[in-house]
Structure 1
């Protein structure tokens, strides 16, 4: 009986040295935090900047479409944009298919 009691006490003492259960989840929480700040947050910032650019499109701007065409904006509606791809080549495109607003040709690049 004494050996059984000592065995039970030894198990209880060993279990008391174990870290709390919430400490096992700490690495997962840290990985989610790193994922958020290194991947998701910058992507959301870039997407917000693009939405602001697309929302500010006006007649005369040069845009890059999702298909890779450079075009001049002729008219802007709520959902559509009339574009001129070349002389006498006009198309209507969804605003959501515009990939970027290209700065005017007269401006220099930031690294020049």
Structure 2
């Protein structure tokens, strides 16, 4: 099981990856609140997506977040490292994302 600090680092790396993908894809009008729950560590993080970039990422949950990601710590590290495909993880249940269909489509472009 990964540590809480490793998960924080992985989320920071994910934020960088999303920002790079958002810039490569051109202007993306995608502004939502975001929460990530890590059940095996009983931890959560939250922040905002602004034009496809994660900003203000902090500890704690946001029950009103428009996009909620639920993933175990090891799976989070694998996802960010690129050894776990987001689509396959979502299909197998290793990654759960609660969001509107339109938000899922926009998020897919970033991952």
Shorter-chain TM-score category? under 0.3
TM-score (norm 1): 0.27
Larger radius of gyration: 1
TM-score (norm 2): 0.27
